[in-house]
Amino acid sequence: MVRVVDVTSFITASDASSKAFKTATLLKTLNVNALIMGDVGVGKTSLARFILPDALVMDASNFRELLLVLESSTDVIITNIDKSPNIKTLLQAISEKKIRVISTSKQILNDEQIDEVFSVKFHLLPLSQRLEDIQALIKRFSLEAISLFGGENKVAIDASDADLHENSHSLRRQVMRNYLLQNIKDADLMDIVQTYIAPKLGSNNDYKKFLHIYEAPLIRAGLKKFKSQLQLADKLGLNRNTLRKKIADNAQYLQGE
């Protein structure tokens, strides 16, 4: 059974995310600073907000503003501390003000000063290593799409086809995109392509320049469905050599096919 955290809606379907949530729950009761590390979209800020639900959230790149906030706050969430333009000064300010800080970092930080400021450090694994969380997130994002756009049909995406290059961020975009495309009509799709191309027209080679927008998706879909260039050439009514040339011309858009 998937357990959802109030406030953050942090999914805990996998053992890894469940353990991370247990650590976050413990941190709610302790007056210590913590550093949560992991790739983009793995849930670092969600857990930080769960630990300190009333704290102001500040990005470490806003250095001067952040230092002012540290002067007047008791609890602060600092995101992307690895991107701070002066992390030593920031850590010194945190220590001097003796405030409660939960911070996030995309990089693994191992430093003596970091260890002195942050009593607890833990790492959130990417979704590719938390497979049980993927379908739970797809379900959640599908419900979000229904509430935003109306309709009833949920998005069906197999975990093996999930876009995880930015973890939950890219997965959410994929679900939203697929939801909108479920009932799209040819005219709607053509309008989208027209809107995209119109401001880019003006060179003397525009037909060839934008041909990949039509050809690449057709070839990708065909190769995925038929698993054979010979069968795809037959279905498209093309000579096999012609198809091979089109595949070569669109090679940069067909990676992984």
Domain edges within the chain: 15-125, 129-183, 197-257
pLDDT of 257 reads 60
Distance of CA 193 to the CA centre of its chain: 25
Q: Answer yes or no: are the C-beta atoms of 45 and 79 closer than 8 Å.
A: yes
- Per-residue model confidence as pLDDT tens digits over 109-143: 888 999 999 999 999 999 999 999 999 999 999 99
The pLDDT mean for the chain works out to 90
Query: pLDDT tens digit string along 97-116?
Result: 889 999 999 999 888 999 99
Give tens-digit pLDDT for 220-256. 999 999 999 999 999 999 999 999 999 999 999 887 6
Mean pLDDT computed over 59-86: 94
- pLDDT score for 256: 62
pLDDT confidence bin for 181, thresholds 50/70/90: confident
**Is residue 77 helix, strand or coil?**
strand
Indicate whether 30 pLDDT > 80. Answer: yes
CA-based nearest residue to 52, from 66, 68, 37, 31: 31
Which letter, b or e, does each residue of 217-251 get, where b requires 16 or more Cβ atoms within 10 Å of its Cβ? eebbebbeeeeebeebbeeeeeeeeebeebbebbe
Average pLDDT over residues 18-26: 96
Q: What is the pLDDT of residue 5?
A: 35
Instruction: For residues 13 and 21, give the distance between their C-alpha atoms in angstroms, rounded to a whole number.
Output: 11
User: How much is the pLDDT for 156?
Assistant: 83
Q: Which two tokens stand for residue 184?
A: 């799209």
Q: Is a pLDDT exceeding 50 seen at residue 3?
A: no
What are the backbone dihedrals phi and psi of residue 248, each rounded to the nearest 5 degrees, phi first? -65, -40
Bridge partners of 78, per DSSP, are 58, 103
CATH superfamily label, 15-125 = P-loop containing nucleotide triphosphate hydrolases (3.40.50.300)
pLDDT classification of 153: cutoffs 50, 70, 90: confident
Q: Closest by alpha carbon to 40, among 124, 156, 150? A: 124
Give, in words, the CATH class of 197-257: mainly alpha
Q: Residue 76: enclosing H or E segment and its boundaries?
A: strand 75-79
pLDDT value of position 6: 36
Looking at residue 157, its pLDDT comes to: 86
What is the average pLDDT across 55-82? 95
Instruction: Kindly calculate the radius of gyration of the chain based on its CA atoms and give it in whole angstroms.
Output: 24
Handedness of CA 89, 95, 99, 103 (dihedral sign): positive
Q: What is the DSSP string of 104-131?
A: EESS----HHHHHH-SEEEEPPPGGG-H
